[in-house]
Amino acid sequence: MPARKKIAIIGGDGIGPSVTEEAKKLLEIYRDKAGLPLDLWELDLGADRYLRDGTTFPKEIQIAIQRECSAVLLGALGDPRVPNLEHARDILFGMRFGYDLYANVRPVRALADRLVPLKGRTAKDVDFVVFRENTEGIYVGMGGQFKRGTPDEVAINEDLNTRKGVERIIRAAFEYARSHGKTKVTMADKSNAMRHAHELWLRVFHEVGAQYQGIEARHLYVDALCLLLVQDPSQFEVIVTNNLFGDIVTDLGAAFQGGLGMAASANVHASSPEKVTLFEPVHGSAPPLAGKDIANPFAALLTAGMLLAHLGWPEEERRIERRVTEAIEEMACTVDVGGKLGTRAAAAWVRERVASEL
Ligand SMILES: NC(=O)c1ccc[n+]([C@@H]2O[C@H](COP(=O)([O-])OP(=O)(O)OC[C@H]3O[C@@H](n4cnc5c(N)ncnc54)[C@H](O)[C@@H]3O)[C@@H](O)[C@H]2O)c1
């Protein structure tokens, strides 16, 4: 009997709870019909909870997840009722930074030609993975404000880059390339303008790249990367970059996939994958869509697929992706990707096809 895998589930805010509910139902089918040893643990965390009793991410929950869980499935965080996003930062960064999940892995794969908005390009041209550094950079919150609210106001955010942090994300990208039969790794920085921090990236990239025979190590400035991605995404296989650039580049990538409703991601401690891993759709909480049954649930379903692959069932990730592809082809999808179904109906369509095969 394989060991049971405990999965913490946090719907979060906005559209997060509704798309996560659909992904949870998919995992329940795997548990109940296919007999996968999954224990699902729903946590009441997010803006509602914060506004109710001030709770963001209690230490005991943080520790329990680390000790007991194989994975976390998160919807999204961010609510206009909490303008400083205190709860969102505590929960999301509490996991990304707290569990040292340094690799934010974001596959950019288009599932159907009609979803690709680039002139003359089809789905086969869009198939690359972005490794975004997830624990450093400008998102660590170092800095401050001085003379706030006066005409002399100063605001500073520091861009933190350590040798260890830069090297391990670059190595993770090369290791991924090697283990997935890829031959091209591109690193994007801005070392021409950010001469201290990004010179470190460039130097380490060349050092690490030299250790991977047969894999082309290509360096681009991030602005050039954006241009080339739009002109011809098919030239990229694995892209590695820092926290800020990775955040931006993967929204661009999501546009090639049909929008944020189609983009899945994982936050991994790549050199110790047995540690708890955080899975989340790339999209945010999209407050204007919340509670209307119109958000696209496919990013969340594809994210559940990544989770199953990570836990040892890679064929189920492929199965879910195939069924989502069929849904797109048969227009059994939400309005953002050209269909007429609501969140629940589109997700149910995919789940029924998956369930019929198990
Ligand atoms: N990891 C996270 O939890 C995360 C990530 C990004 C943004 N946020 C937060 O989410 C809130 C809203 O941010 P935003 O508007 O910049 O980004 P967003 O991803 O919520 O929305 C951006 C655009 O994409 C569309 N969209 C997103 N998800 C969709 C889906 N599943 N189906 C259909 N359309 C979808 C939205 O309607 C909007 O037009 C903010 O509070 C932000 O901080 C959270």
| Residue-level pLDDT at 2 | 63
24 vs 141 pLDDT, higher one: 24
Ligand 1 atom closest to the CA of 88, numbered from 1:
3
Task: Tokens 């204007």: give the residue.
Answer: 288
| Residue-level pLDDT at 272 | 86
Ligand 1 atom closest to the CA of 79, numbered from 1:
41
pTM across the whole model: 0.95
Averaged pLDDT for residues 289-304: 98
Q: How far is the CA of 187 from the centre of ligand 1 (A)?
A: 26
Q: How far is the CA of 295 from the centre of ligand 1 (A)?
A: 10
Write out pLDDT tens, residues 219-240.
Answer: 999 999 999 999 999 999 999 9
pLDDT of residue 281 exceeding 70, the answer is yes
- The residue whose CA is least distant from atom 18 of ligand 1 is 284
328 in contact with ligand 1, CB cutoff 6 A: no
Q: How far is the CA of 80 from the centre of ligand 1 (A)?
A: 12
Averaged pLDDT for residues 17-40: 97
Write out pLDDT tens, residues 42-78.
Answer: 999 999 999 999 999 999 999 999 999 999 999 999 9
Among 77, 85, 139, 283, which residue has the most ligand 1 atoms within 8 Å of its CB, making it the best to mutate? 283
258 in contact with ligand 1, CB cutoff 6 A: no
| Residue-level pLDDT at 99 | 95
Q: How far is the CA of 35 from the centre of ligand 1 (A)?
A: 34
284 in contact with ligand 1, CB cutoff 6 A: yes
Averaged pLDDT for residues 258-282: 94
The whole-chain average pLDDT of the chain stands at 96
Structural domains of the chain ordered from first start = 1-99+276-358 (3.40.718.10), 121-260 (3.40.718.10)
- The residue whose CA is least distant from atom 7 of ligand 1 is 284
